[in-house]
Structure 1
Amino acid sequence: MKSTSALTPSPPSATMQLFRQAGLLAPTDAQLAQTEGLTSTEFSSRYPSRADFVLHATLADFERQKADHLRLYEHYSAAVERLYGLLNYALIDLTDLNPLYLSELVGFPKVWQAFQDHLASYSSPQLQQLLNEGIRQKLFRSDINIQLVTIILLQQLTMVLTPGVFPAAIPVAEIFRSIFLYYIRGLCTEEGARLAAEHFARI
């Protein structure tokens, strides 16, 4: 049995929790200063605009996720388990995310670009490495086009993040699950599918 604490997301910062619950525009500067442990004067001096601060909080959250991924990798050696572990991690991390957060995100071009840069510089190599390892371990089909599959997975993620694609009433985590879960299972060999069965059932 894997350690539950090792496979679940560490709590986002108080600031990011506030953004996820209330959106990016509703929290006041005074509330945000409090979550950062700053006075209002210090906060306004350090972050002249809301866009500057949202970018700061977003980049910090990327680092939280990267650290969590390393912790998850320590508990799974097989590529298919790692990929399903990352999927389950994302589902938990997205639970109770206010759709307003995503709809307001596109109003911050630098932050939206930071997401795209993160996908290109971190998520894309991460997926390519897992697919390569999975093929070598005979857990993913050897005839898949790694570059193309990586692009498809990232485009699917972009679709999840893009406001207006799905009805706001549908939880983001459920959208994520429906898009990725079955697609990834289709990449598996019989051996990979058997290994992934426990993770698939849990998700």
Structure 2
Amino acid sequence: MPDFTLNAASLEAAMPVFYAHGLRTASDATLAKALHTSEADLAAQFPSRELLVYHTMLADLERQKRDHTKLYAEFPTAVERLYGLLDLGLRDLTKIPGTFYGELQTGFPQSWDAVMDHLNTYSAPQLQQLLNDGIRSKLFRSDINIQLVTKILIEQLNMLLNPLVFPPDRYNMREVFRSIFLYYIRGICTDDGARIAAEHFARL
């Protein structure tokens, strides 16, 4: 048995190693060093790479939820929270190499299923709830199709990070983010919501 058990917070340190070196090709030595443990203890707790990747992904998904809780404490309105969630998503995605999710999907199906489950049971309902909250507070238009707008927002974020669409050596990702989301979200806002959106972007 290992001398100590790596908890979720500790495992978050493995994610940058996987981004930099690959899910399969990151060495046990590099991972153990990042996790402040020995290779023997790491192997004792996670006897397969699949198991380590799975628990690392779960830890990262929990980290995202904590970030969202902090965001909600900072921003009181649905409009600001929506922009903030998309901005956090952008910050996360810009750290991830283009091959990461392809490798995850083909080589680590349990971890990929966890990501898809998170998207379907947490991210999409979260966006839908924000849109509902915005409609109730008269910040978003009451005639929007919430499910369709949720799908569009997710696909816009994916498009933003597609290097074939917006090569990072040619485009400033912050400016692309502003151009896509400032105008789209402002379009689903009421006059009051649009004023909040403009004020929020003025602070970025």
Q: Equivalent residue for 2:114? A: 114
Q: Equivalent residue for 1:183? A: 184
Aligned pairs for 1:28-47 within 5 A: 28-47=27-46
Measure, in 1, the Cα distance between the counterparts of 2:57 and 2:184: 28
Contact 1:22 1:101 in 2 (8 A): no
Q: Report how many aligned residue pairs link the two structures.
A: 189
Q: Equivalent residue for 1:6? A: none
Q: Equivalent residue for 1:53? A: 52
Q: Equivalent residue for 1:192? A: 193
Q: Equivalent residue for 2:88? A: 89
Measure, in 1, the Cα distance between the counterparts of 2:63 and 2:164: 29
Measure, in 2, the Cα distance between the counterparts of 1:159 and 1:116: 18
Measure, in 2, the Cα distance between the counterparts of 1:84 and 1:71: 14
Measure, in 1, the Cα distance between the counterparts of 2:103 and 2:165: 13
1:136 is displaced (CA, Å) by 1.1
Contact 1:14 1:35 in 2 (8 A): yes
Contact 1:85 1:199 in 2 (8 A): no
Q: Secondary structure at the match of 2:74?
A: coil
Q: Secondary structure at the match of 1:117?
A: helix
Q: Equivalent residue for 1:7? A: none
Describe the superposition over 1:64-119 as per-residue Cα deviations: whole angstroms up to 9, x where unpaired. 11111111111111100101111222222333432232332222211211111001
Unpaired stretches in structure 1, ≥5 consecutive residues? 1-11
Kindly indicate whether structure 1 or structure 2 has the higher relative contact order, using CA contacts under 8 Å at least 6 residues apart: 1
Q: Which amino acid aligns with 2:109?
A: P
For normalisation by structure 2, the TM-score amounts to 0.78
Unpaired stretches in structure 2, ≥5 consecutive residues? 1-10
- 1:167 aligned to 2:190? no
Measure, in 2, the Cα distance between the counterparts of 1:96 and 1:144: 32
1:148 is displaced (CA, Å) by 2.5
Q: Which amino acid aligns with 2:99?
A: L
Contact 2:159 2:165 in 1 (8 A): no
Contact 1:13 1:61 in 2 (8 A): yes
Contact 1:24 1:104 in 2 (8 A): yes
Measure, in 1, the Cα distance between the counterparts of 2:112 and 2:122: 15
Describe the superposition over 1:37-57 as per-residue Cα deviations: whole angstroms up to 9, x where unpaired. 222122122222222111111
1:202 is displaced (CA, Å) by 5.2
Measure, in 1, the Cα distance between the counterparts of 2:186 and 2:137: 16
1:140 is displaced (CA, Å) by 0.8
1:62 is displaced (CA, Å) by 0.8
1:154 is displaced (CA, Å) by 3.7
Measure, in 2, the Cα distance between the counterparts of 1:157 and 1:195: 21
Q: Which amino acid aligns with 1:126?
A: Q
Describe the superposition over 1:118-169 as per-residue Cα deviations: whole angstroms up to 9, x where unpaired. 01111122111100110111111110011222233345556678xxx64298
